[in-house]
Amino acid sequence: MTAPRDDARHTAGDGTHLVATRHGLGRLTGDGDVELLDLPYADVAALLRAGAGLAPARAAAVRRRLPLDALAGDVVAPLGGTPAVWGVGLNYHCKARTTGRPLPTQPVLYLKSPNAGSGPDDTVPLPTSVSAQSDYEGEVALVIGARMHHTPAERAWAHVAGITAANDLTCRDVMVASGSPTLAKSFPGFGALGASVLGLDAVADRDAIGVRTRVNGELRQQASTADLIFPVPDLLAWISRYVVLEPGDVVLTGTPTGTGQDRGCFLSPGDLVEVTVAGVLPLRTRFRADTPAPAAETPAPAAEPDPLPGDARPSLPLRTESLMP
């Protein structure tokens, strides 16, 4: 993990900015250091499930302070224990213009498997044995901080702890063949989140959060949540009409134009995708070819032991008719 770019830097007074590491939760400072906190939580999701939001991380004592670069390879998924990741299809006006599809009248929602998660700088296998169209989707992800159910739009932001970056990976051909977004988006590693969680108190403009996606260094996507068809408060209020959102849950806000599907080019082994959400450490994901485990060989039946002398056994006739009526 390298130091953040300029758009991911914040002074200590700007609010809460957290990373999960193999050494525990860390608080990012404005000068590129990480303060390892005296807290018992493995990641931000566990902290939020304790019920006090991000407040314990703001008040926690510091065990050790290190440069972010010194933690290279030790920064892990900040929301590794997230039980529910909700996604929404076609939620950017620019995406609707590119595809020529009519604007939806209500959010089209899906769930990703909790077993699909991956974190910063992870290498994700492309399921090449079943798909030739693995695609990236850079998104702004909302991290729920307080329980939501029947929450009106005007109170929705009060239930959000912070934001992070997401790469909502998708096998386009699997989605078409199966008709299931959940199936097409739940391959191992296809739920990339990170690399940090920026508290809502540190978000400069919550109604226009920028997101960019680069593939092998080439800019492919660039937009902000000001272009959402269903803005964040309306999206959260809609979901909470039907389900309960708990602290630590994640809601993806949709992807803008510029995906591989839009460009007619999909991911290949060796590719590097970087998703940057304003203020959040970049989320980098590398890709390799899938190597399915070989099928288990059926063991040969055990040989019959040689009969002992005098151990004559009667010969039974071979039954050829079915035992079923």
Dump pLDDT digits (tens) for 169-218.
Answer: 999 999 999 999 999 999 999 999 999 999 999 999 999 999 999 999 99
- What is the Cα–Cα distance from 85 to 114, expressed in whole angstroms? 7
Residue 20: strand, helix, or coil: strand
How much of the chain, in percent, has pLDDT values that exceed 70? 85
User: Which pLDDT band holds residue 291 (cuts at 50, 70, 90)?
Assistant: confident
**pLDDT score for 10:** 35
- What is the Cα–Cα distance from 214 to 38, expressed in whole angstroms? 36
Lowest mean pLDDT among 78-82, 111-115, 314-318: 314-318
User: Which pLDDT band holds residue 319 (cuts at 50, 70, 90)?
Assistant: very low
Q: Which among 173, 170, 73, 161 has a CA at the least distance from the CA of 116? A: 170
What domains can be seen in the chain, in order of their start residue?
Answer: 77-289 (3.90.850.10)
- What is the Cα–Cα distance from 172 to 84, expressed in whole angstroms? 22
Burial 35-52 (b: 16+ CB within 10 A, else e): bbbebebbbbbbbbeeee
Dihedral sign computed on CA atoms, order 18, 21, 23, 24: positive
